[in-house]
């Protein structure tokens, strides 16, 4: 009864509001502009994107009540830099100032939420925000995530950290959206992080069933929606300005019919929300390239509705997103809080689970992550260089240009039809080309910086004059620099591919270094040389590799172990019914792995410390996809529709074991058919030997190779164990937080709907042990049986859906994918201590750079005692150096000063600021995850960064750098539980100058100023 009374009260209040006032409608003009997808960026700019900003700018100038929101910054910036006239720019500045043109999200792209990594999401937002703040003095405060395929719980946290006041999502499960719509629960306050909770909560609006497009059906016309400018035409815009499918003009004859359709739609939607305000997005994909037609029709229509608002019960107005959210904020409604549950995966219909894209275009996903790691390494090395040698020989403009190009390319591919693999083949090629071109530029920069002497006069070459290949003065010698891009000390094993069977390795002071050499797993003509590199945080060292054609002895050769493989004959899986009779052990300090000679498959892993043997096998399975829409649901770039259970993807397995002193390698080759000459799949497992204090032995590195696949197959690596898990698994949202995924049953499509994105990590566990995988790129992951973890690694698909064929959205991907996973097994406590760090360390492995031989011979260096390596920078084990870079923006840290500068109109081409260093530090642990490591950590940044230089000034900023944190006041939304936000609850007392306390899961961003010329 009590419940009933509450409902009644609630209803009465709503009725009262509705009776007195007409529904207030916020018509938000927008154009959804995919940075990629079907057309390349260049094609889109030419066909419509440039015209959007040109024509919107002109149209906004004509009437003061018109509005527009600009979303993807990549297109806006291209227009601003290459198309806009000075008169356009002047008008844009005026519109922005008056709040008529509003930048929403402000990132380079609308990033995907399922398969992107936190590093890259932050990067792409930082890029766009830096440009907008520098150019206009504005800081986006609202999101518009209308198209990403599902919604991650990390996204609202990042937006909150960037200073946003409200978040907006759209694509969530159809059945969940239905229920939320019915129950007026589309709006809520999201506490995406289970640790940061209300500190970083954000109001979230879920778009209703009409999503971000205008209703497409007009009962009185064959044309669709409120799109008077029709549909964009490729490759060239029509010369006469007449586009296909332009809607009927609004005239005296049609205005009533238009008004009726619009008002009915507004009223329908108003019933799904708790306030009297309706967000009415006006636009869709590729709209407003001919804005005059758009506004000239909408103006009279809106005028008509407002003149009849009493009868119609509706008012309409052009609005930006902030005007809509302002109205909601002022409505004084108390909102329901939502915890850290996300909206992944995503289904649009019973048989349409968008879980395929987690694994689409594995190669692109891998290249994008490698480029991101490369950028991370180059950023910190350049920042060090600038602080240490402000007048050093590497030209700063040349360097920054290279970094900016790679920032741009890595940002671009985070688009929700980019890294997702849901684009057309030519667009995938565009991303790959942009990434590889920019990465090559950064490699040149890295090579120039790696030659960084420890005193400037010893610089060997100046960029631009150095020729590639000079690193080999004589063929039997090679010089490399190995750089550790993380602020932790590391004993890393680095693999260098060489063409000689014997080698000796020496460090920068001429001491021999432990190494191992063996025939490569991938090729008969190359060798893998494993070097044990001891590196401090952010430290690099030079190494000399000396080769010899013959068996060498002495002179450091005895430090290199020459490993030989033992091959086990090919076994057909048929014959392996009896298992466990002939087991081969491979041991290191952490594990005993058993391989079965009857199958050549993994049999079990014993975790030595726990003394627990876990039965475990690992092999490849495939889902045979349906490619004919007439015979049922299909799989494509986006969708995974399991057409039955998976079947074994091979008939026979061969094994080779290469016992070593640094690593022991187990090479398993899987043949589709027993008699095949070449294998289709392989797993190379590297079992590291434990030595030294810091060398982790718990990571079993597994590099798989898959392909080319047969058409219409989706291949998984299945790890089956005896752990009792009840099919529950844990996967990460964007590498930031782990999500518990309990197996759910659905009326339809249960298998595909239990697939989840795995960006960096996934694990299963029972009461005692955890089996974890961390990954160098995104995949799909699922647990379809007790104790099982299957990772979808590769897909090759083609179907006859006309829509797919029309846009060439095919996934006939014949590439060979070579993803790497680190597998670990251990007690839950130890596994959670190591897991986060493993994921970061796989992401940011040491960088190997070939360099020119030093000017002085190695012997001379030795005689001088060698050059000391640069000083290390080391953070505590639970803190990760997320960013250390020189962004180059030129704006005052003082907002008022900067605004005055922007408004003065002077100096519109600012010189980059090379002295401001952006620093981000992230606490890796959740509250309560580990008794010690979850604790807040106080560090003195002056002390920590002294290896780089002398810190003079520290300014704390918002996530993307644009806010002085002490002036950032986000909107405080009322929630039912009304938790008092206390941003400093985890900190004790006042902080000393330069000392900062970083609490569980926090990401803190600083501008650091160093005293110049420290060395
Ligand atoms: Zn899109």
What tokens does 286 get?
């590729």
Determine the pLDDT at residue 985. 66
Determine the pLDDT at residue 992. 82
Q: Catalytic residues, which ones? A: 147
Residue with tokens 């004790």: 988
Determine the pLDDT at residue 979. 63
CA angle 348, 757, 838 (to 5 degrees): 170
Segment 819-837 shows an average pLDDT of 94
pLDDT tens sequence across 882-896: 999 999 999 999 999
Rounded to an integer, what is the distance from CA 52 to the centroid of its chain? 28
pLDDT tens sequence across 190-230: 999 999 999 999 999 999 999 999 988 888 988 888 999 99
Segment 3-30 shows an average pLDDT of 61
Is 308 within 8 Å of 259 (Cβ atoms)?
yes
pLDDT tens sequence across 68-100: 999 999 999 999 999 999 999 999 999 999 999
Confidence of residue 522 (pLDDT cuts 50, 70, 90): confident
**Cα torsion 282, 288, 293, 295: sign:** positive
484 Cα: distance to centroid of ligand 1 (angstroms): 37
For residue 304, pLDDT over 80 is answered with yes
pLDDT tens sequence across 22-37: 999 999 999 999 999 9
Is 540 within 8 Å of 491 (Cβ atoms)?
no
Among residues 554, 564, 558, the alpha carbon closest in space to that of 528 is found at 564
69 Cα: distance to centroid of ligand 1 (angstroms): 16
Segment 995-1004 shows an average pLDDT of 97
73-82 and 50-60 are packed helices; what angle lies between their axes, rounded to 10 degrees? 80
pLDDT tens sequence across 918-928: 999 999 999 99
Instruction: Give the alpha-carbon dihedral of 237, 238, 242, 246, to 10 degrees.
Output: -40
Is 652 within 8 Å of 571 (Cβ atoms)?
yes
Is 770 within 8 Å of 724 (Cβ atoms)?
no
Sequence-distant (6+) residues with CB within 8 A of 87 are none
CA separation for the pair 598, 579 (Å, rounded): 6
Is 206 within 8 Å of 177 (Cβ atoms)?
yes
Segment 750-759 shows an average pLDDT of 98
Segment 305-312 shows an average pLDDT of 97
Three-class secondary structure of residue 582 per DSSP: coil
Determine the pLDDT at residue 855. 65
Cα–Cα separations (whole angstroms), residue 948 to 369, 457, 543, 568: 27, 19, 22, 52
In angstroms, the first-to-last Cα distance of the chain is 77
For residue 786, pLDDT over 90 is answered with yes
Determine the pLDDT at residue 15. 40
| Residue 708, preceding peptide bond in cis (omega within 30° of 0) | yes
**Class of residue 64 by CB neighbours under 10 A (exposed 0-12, middle 13-18, buried 19+):** exposed
Strands 515-519 and 560-562: parallel
223 Cα: distance to centroid of ligand 1 (angstroms): 22
* Mean pLDDT over the full length of the chain: 91
CA separation for the pair 943, 940 (Å, rounded): 5
pLDDT tens sequence across 452-511: 654 333 433 333 333 344 444 456 899 999 999 999 999 999 999 999 999 999 998 889
CA separation for the pair 363, 557 (Å, rounded): 37
Segment 775-795 shows an average pLDDT of 98
Sequence-distant (6+) residues with CB within 8 A of 163 are 139, 141, 958, 959, 960, 962, 963, 968, 970
Determine the pLDDT at residue 467. 38
Sheet holding 490-498, edge to edge: 490-498, 527-535, 515-519, 560-562
208 Cα: distance to centroid of ligand 1 (angstroms): 17
34 Cα: distance to centroid of ligand 1 (angstroms): 5
102 Cα: distance to centroid of ligand 1 (angstroms): 19
CA separation for the pair 245, 225 (Å, rounded): 10
Segment 552-573 shows an average pLDDT of 88
Among residues 833, 921, 840, 839, the alpha carbon closest in space to that of 875 is found at 921
Confidence of residue 987 (pLDDT cuts 50, 70, 90): confident
118-136 and 73-82 are packed helices; what angle lies between their axes, rounded to 10 degrees? 40
CA separation for the pair 510, 303 (Å, rounded): 82
Among residues 828, 938, 825, the alpha carbon closest in space to that of 879 is found at 938
For residue 986, pLDDT over 50 is answered with yes
228 Cα: distance to centroid of ligand 1 (angstroms): 21
Percent of the chain with pLDDT over 70: 92
CA separation for the pair 632, 313 (Å, rounded): 46
Segment 582-603 shows an average pLDDT of 95
Three-class secondary structure of residue 337 per DSSP: strand
Residue 401 CB: number of other CB atoms within 10 A?
14
Least confident of 27-36, 237-246, 472-481, 841-850: 472-481
40 Cα: distance to centroid of ligand 1 (angstroms): 13
859 Cα: distance to centroid of ligand 1 (angstroms): 59
Q: What is the DSSP letter of 785?
A: S
**Class of residue 54 by CB neighbours under 10 A (exposed 0-12, middle 13-18, buried 19+):** middle
Percent of the chain with pLDDT over 90: 82
Segment 243-266 shows an average pLDDT of 96
Least confident of 710-724, 832-846, 902-916, 919-933: 902-916
Rounded to an integer, what is the distance from CA 345 to the centroid of its chain? 16
Determine the pLDDT at residue 989. 64
Segment 343-367 shows an average pLDDT of 97
Determine the pLDDT at residue 217. 86
The kind and range of the H/E element at 863 are helix 858-863
147 Cα: distance to centroid of ligand 1 (angstroms): 5
Residue with tokens 């187990």: 666
């Amino acid at each position: 009864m009590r419940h009933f009374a509450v409902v009644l009260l609630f209803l009465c209040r709503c009725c009262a509001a509705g009776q007195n006032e007409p529904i207030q409608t916020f018509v938000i003009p927008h154009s959804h502009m995919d940075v990629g997808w079907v057309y390349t960026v260049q094609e889109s700019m030419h066909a419509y994107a440039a015209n959007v900003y040109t024509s919107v700018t002109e149209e906004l100038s004509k009437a003061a009540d018109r509005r527009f929101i600009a979303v993807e910054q990549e297109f806006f910036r291209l227009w601003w830099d290459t198309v806009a006239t000075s008169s356009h720019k002047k008008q844009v500045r005026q519109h922005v100032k008056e709040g008529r043109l509003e930048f929403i999200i402000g990132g380079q792209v609308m990033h995907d939420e399922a398969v992107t990594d936190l590093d890259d999401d932050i990067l792409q937002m930082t890029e766009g925000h830096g440009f907008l703040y520098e150019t206009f003095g504005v800081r986006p405060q609202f999101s518009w995530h209308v198209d990403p395929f599902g919604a991650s719980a990390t996204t609202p946290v990042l937006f909150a950290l960037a200073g946003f006041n409200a978040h907006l999502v759209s694509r969530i499960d159809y059945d969940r959206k239905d229920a939320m719509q019915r129950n007026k629960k589309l709006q809520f306050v999201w506490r995406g992080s289970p640790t940061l909770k209300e500190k970083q909560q954000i109001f979230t609006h879920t778009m209703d069933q009409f999503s971000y497009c205008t209703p497409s059906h007009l009962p009185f016309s064959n044309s669709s929606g409120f799109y008077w400018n029709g549909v964009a035409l490729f490759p060239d815009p029509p010369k006469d300005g007449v586009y296909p499918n332009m809607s009927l003009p609004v005239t005296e004859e049609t205005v009533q019919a238009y008004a009726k359709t619009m008002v009915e739609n507004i009223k329908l939607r108003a019933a799904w929300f708790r306030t009297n305000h309706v967000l009415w997005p006006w636009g869709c994909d590729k709209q407003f390239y001919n804005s005059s037609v758009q506004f000239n029709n909408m103006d009279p229509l809106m005028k008509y509705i407002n003149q009849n608002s009493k009868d119609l019960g509706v008012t309409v107005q052009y609005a930006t997103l902030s005007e809509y959210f302002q109205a909601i904020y002022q409505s004084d409604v108390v909102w329901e809080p939502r915890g850290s549950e996300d909206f992944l995966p995503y289904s649009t219909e019973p048989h349409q689970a968008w879980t395929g894209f987690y694994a689409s275009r594995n190669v692109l996903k891998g290249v994008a992550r490698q480029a991101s790691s490369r950028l991370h390494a180059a950023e910190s090395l350049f920042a060090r260089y600038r602080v240490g040698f402000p007048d050093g020989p590497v030209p700063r403009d040349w360097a920054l240009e290279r970094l900016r190009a790679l920032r741009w390319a890595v940002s671009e591919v985070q688009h929700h039809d980019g890294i997702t693999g849901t684009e057309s083949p030519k667009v995938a090629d565009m991303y790959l080309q942009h990434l590889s071109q920019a990465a090559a530029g950064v490699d040149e920069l890295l090579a120039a910086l790696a030659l960084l002497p420890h005193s400037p006069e010893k610089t060997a070459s100046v960029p631009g004059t150095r020729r590639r290949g000079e690193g080999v003065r004589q063929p039997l010698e090679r010089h490399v620099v190995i750089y550790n891009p993380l602020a932790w000390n590391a004993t890393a094993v680095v693999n260098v591919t060489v063409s000689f069977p014997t080698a000796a390795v020496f460090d920068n002071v001429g001491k021999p270094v432990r190494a191992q050499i063996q025939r490569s797993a991938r090729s008969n003509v190359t060798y893998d040389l494993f070097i044990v590199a001891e590196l401090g945080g952010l430290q690099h060292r030079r190494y000399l590799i000396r080769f010899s054609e013959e068996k060498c002895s002495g002179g450091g050769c005895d430090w290199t172990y020459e490993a030989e493989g033992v091959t086990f004959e090919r076994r057909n899986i048929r014959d392996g019914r009896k298992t466990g009779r002939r087991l081969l052990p491979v041991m290191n300090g952490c594990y005993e792995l058993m391989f079965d000679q009857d199958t050549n498959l993994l049999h079990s892993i014993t975790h030595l410390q726990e003394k627990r043997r876990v039965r475990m096998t690992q092999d490849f399975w495939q889902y045979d996809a349906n490619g004919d829409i007439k015979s049922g649901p299909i799989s494509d770039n986006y969708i995974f529709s399991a057409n039955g259970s998976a079947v074994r993807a091979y008939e026979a397995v061969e094994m080779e074991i290469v016992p070593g002193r640094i690593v022991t390698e187990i090479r398993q080759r899987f043949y589709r058919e027993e008699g095949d000459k070449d294998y289709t799949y392989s797993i190379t497992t590297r079992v590291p030997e434990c030595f030294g204090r810091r060398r982790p032995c718990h990571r079993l590195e597994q590099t798989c190779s898959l392909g080319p696949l047969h058409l219409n197959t989706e291949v998984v690596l299945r790890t089956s164990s005896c752990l009792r898990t009840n099919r529950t698994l844990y996967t990460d949202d964007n590498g930031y937080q782990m999500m518990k995924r309990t197996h759910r049953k659905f009326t339809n499509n249960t298998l595909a709907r239990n697939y989840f994105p795995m960006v960096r990590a996934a694990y299963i566990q029972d009461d005692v042990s955890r089996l974890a995988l961390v990954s160098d790129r995104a995949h799909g992951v699922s647990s379809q049986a007790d104790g099982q973890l299957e990772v979808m690694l590769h897909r090759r698909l083609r179907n006859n859906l006309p829509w797919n064929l029309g846009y060439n959205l095919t996934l006939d991907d014949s590439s060979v994918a070579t993803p790497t996973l680190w597998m670990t097994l251990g007690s839950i406590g130890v596994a959670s201590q190591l897991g986060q760090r493993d994921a970061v360390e796989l992401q940011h492995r040491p960088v190997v750079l070939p360099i020119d031989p030093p000017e002085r011979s190695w012997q001379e260096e030795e005689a001088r005692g060698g050059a000391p390596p640069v000083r290390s920078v080391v953070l505590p084990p639970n803190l990760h150096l997320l960013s250390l870079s020189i962004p180059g923006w030129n704006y005052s840290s003082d907002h008022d000063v900067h605004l005055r500068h922007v408004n003065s109109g002077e100096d519109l081409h600012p010189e980059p600021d090379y002295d401001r260093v952006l620093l981000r530090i992230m606490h890796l642990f959740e509250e309560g995850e580990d008794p010690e490591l979850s604790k807040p950590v106080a560090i003195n940044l002056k002390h920590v960064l002294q290896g780089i230089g002398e810190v003079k000034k520290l300014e704390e900023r918002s996530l993307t750098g644009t806010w002085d944190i002490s002036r950032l006041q986000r909107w405080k939304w009322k929630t039912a539980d009304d938790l008092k936000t206390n941003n400093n609850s985890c900190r004790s007392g006042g902080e000393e100058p330069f000392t900062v306390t970083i609490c569980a899961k926090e990401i803190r961003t600083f501008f650091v100023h160093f005293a110049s010329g420290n060395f």
